[in-house]
A and B are shown apart, each in its own frame.
Chain A
Amino acid sequence: MAERGETIIKVEGLTAKYGDRLIFDRLSCEVKRGEVFVILGGSGCGKSTLLKHMIGLYTPAAGHILIDGDDITTAKGDARRRLLRKIGVMYQSGALFGSMTLLENVRLALEEFANLPNDAMDAIAASKLRLVQLEGFENFYPAEISGGMKKRAAIARAMALDPAILFLDEPSAGLDPITSAELDQTILRLARTLGVTFVVVTHELPSIYAIADRVIMLDPRVHGIVATGAPAQLRDHAKDEWVRRFFRREAEPVASAGATA
């Protein structure tokens, strides 16, 4: 296993546009191996857009994204497939395949990419579900389980081939605080024990304080990153007042009312 702390994802000069609307203007950042890296920002600032560029779903207008040294924006065919083997993605809605049981969802990648006997695949898939505390739910369909369980099952599926990097899109959105905290525990355990690198898009503050090693804060005003650092550091020492307010969960001060003329 490679060294912790070395660069595993390198975003270089990423420019992204939706039609004529500029989202990122030459954005650059780096993710280190083994860290929990959080992409943060207000609604509509491009968090999910950055994530989708990193996992190769979107093609940037300019710039490169290197994963373990290979450019995912230009990789094709087998090279792309090798790159995709290194990553796992949990989508916002879970995106589990509705026509398959949880076990089959997790097994799918194993069936397609690993040359394993049937019972070995079952055993591995079941163990991934155990990793996210879903033992006993192997034969349930996604429609039969709760939202939090779907997200955990989606993490298990993303882990099927033991990727080096896990991308999570809003893991705690729509979950109650306890389920959300449990999910944070799961993420931390996987990061600390297995050395998995996490890239997480979220705006749940408690979750960020619990899991994040490093945070980048996106801001539509600059079409890119406005601050980088550990969450506590940004809360207390960020240069930008908006960033400090974000971490303290403060709204803009209410303007004095009454002036009507």
Chain B
Amino acid sequence: MRSNTAKMPGPAAGARIQTERDADGALRLILSGHLDVDSTGALWREATAAAQGAGGGALVVDATGLDYCDTAGAALLVALEREQQAAGGAFAIEGLRDEFAQIVAMLRPSETATTAPPEAKLSFLARLGRSTLEVATDLRTLVAFVGELSVFTLRTLRHPGELRFRDAVSVADRAGIGAVPIVALVGFLLGLILAFQGAIPMQRFGAQIFVADLLGISMLRELGPLMAAILLTARSGSAFAAEIGTMKVNEEIDALSTMGLEPVRFLVVPRVLAALAVVPALTALTSGFALLGGLVVFVQLGFPAVTFWNRILESVHVSDVVGGYAKALVFGVIVAAVGCLRGLQTGNGAQAVGASATSAVVSGIILIAVTDGIFAVVFYVLGI
């Protein structure tokens, strides 16, 4: 559009405005030239400011010299008219060509137009009540979802024939096998860095050999399951939310419901079971590669590799490993369930799918952190 008007010959491009006082005291606004989307923009402030000079008196817009006026120009005329009406002054347009007058007539707000009632301003108490209700609804949805998921998971475990086995295997493949490279890389680097950073202060006490203990306990008990779960959230929790969210947007979830296929049984159970199946392996991989990374540093420090192994056997207890895997399994269920729940809660449109994916990752990581804290307390009390 801009380039079109730029090519127009001199006087046609652009509009001018002049003000005069009529003999009867009315303010006369003389518009001339080419009133299109570009020139109107430049003129808008000037015109409205000039019109205010009428100060409640009559305003006449003289459009005789106007050789072009599109909807933008007409919008200016309508705006002037409305402001005059609001100020209580008389308003008239003179000399406007018939075809332009028709555009102005179309843009005038209709008196019968139904306007949505303005959102009532709520008091603090009302807003508090509303937010409380929203939180309560959210919690109820969560509880209902957990209940439904438990019922269907138990039913599937009792009648394995009901599981959509192909779906579960395909999810396990994507969430598990697909994650091997990144899990291996992150695990290896984590071990390498942890061992290296740990070795520097330990060197001052000649305690470098305990790098192996440090790595063994922290990875097998704590960081292995945690890193695996966070990677699973980022890769697969978000993917579950986006997949199911897109199905929601496409009405596929509605279609499942009206076919009598419960979305939780059909979509969520295979994903949760698949996550449950892959998360121990991912945890083992993370810890394994981290120990490998630590071993590299350990050997660089001048110790034989077998010492590393012996230190770990000595310092790490079976309960550490079992505790780590117990956590990993719980994390896996949480990540998959939250991802699917966020997917099922998706609203309308592409943006909602993105929001669900983000929300799946954020809630997943928060829940992992909280659960990890709970585990720490429980393990402490149990003396594990």
* B259 cross-chain contacts in A, Cβ below 8 A: 84, 108-109, 112
CB of A257 closer than 8 Å to a CB of B: yes
0/1 interface trace, chain A 84-123, chain B, CB 8 Å (1 if under): 1101010111011110000000001100110000000000
Complex: chain A residue closest to B81, CB-CB: A260
Residues of A within 8 A of B98 (CB): 257-258
Cα of A98 to Cα of B259 in the assembled complex, Å? 16
In the complex, the answer to whether B251 meets A260 with C-beta atoms within 8 Å is: no
The answer to whether B91 touches A56 (Cβ under 8 A) is no
Please give the distance in Å from A109's CB to the nearest CB on chain B: 5
Known: A95-B251, A95-B252, A95-B255. A260 touches B96 (CB 8 A): yes
CB-CB under 8 A from A258, the residues of chain B are 98, 101-102, 105
Q: Indicate with 1 or 0, residue by residue over B83-103, a CB within 8 angstroms of chain A CB atoms.
A: 000000001110010100110
Verify if A178 is at the interface (C-beta below 8 Å from B). no
Q: Are A93 and B261 in contact (CB under 8 A)?
A: no
Set of chain A residues within 8 Å of B250, measured between Cβ atoms: 93, 95, 98
Q: Which residue of B lies closest to A169 (CB)?
A: B251
Number of residues from A at the complex interface, CB < 8 A: 28
Q: Is A55 an interface residue (CB 8 A)?
A: yes
Is B260 a contact partner of A259 (Cβ separation < 8 A)? no
**B258:A97 contact, CB within 8 angstroms:** no
Q: Which of B92, B101, B105, B252 is close to A97, meaning CB atoms less than 8 Å apart? A: B252
Asked whether any CB of chain B lies closer than 8 Å to the CB of A255, the reply is yes
Q: Which of B96-149 contact A (CB under 8 A)?
A: 96, 98, 101-102, 104-106
Residue of B nearest to A52 (CB): B254
Q: Is the CB of B105 within 8 A of A89?
A: no
A98 to chain B, nearest CB (A): 8
Cross-chain contact B101 with A260 (CB below 8 angstroms): yes
- Interface assignment of A22: CB less than 8 Å from any CB of chain B: no
Name B251's contact: one of A56, A80, A91, A259 (CB within 8 Å). A91
- Tell me, rounded to whole Å, the shortest Cβ–Cβ distance linking B336 to chain A: 18
Minimum CB–CB distance from B170 to chain A (whole Å) comes to 8
Interface flags, B362-383, vs A, CB<8A=1, else 0:
0000000000000000000000
Q: Does A57 lie at the interface of the complex (its beta carbon under 8 Å from any beta carbon of B)? A: yes
Tell me which of A89, A113, A255 contacts B255 (CB under 8 A): A89
Q: How far is the CB of A199 from chain B (nearest CB, A)?
A: 13
In contact, A260 and B258 (Cβ under 8 angstroms): no
A selection of 24 A-B contacts at a CB cut-off of 8 Å is A52-B254, A56-B257, A57-B254, A80-B260, A84-B260, A85-B260, A89-B254, A95-B251, A95-B252, A95-B254, A97-B247, A97-B252, A98-B247, A108-B261, A112-B259, A112-B260, A113-B260, A257-B98, A257-B105, A257-B106, A258-B98, A259-B105, A260-B104, A261-B92
Q: Nearest 3 A-B pairs (CB), nearest first?
A: A257-B102, A95-B251, A91-B251
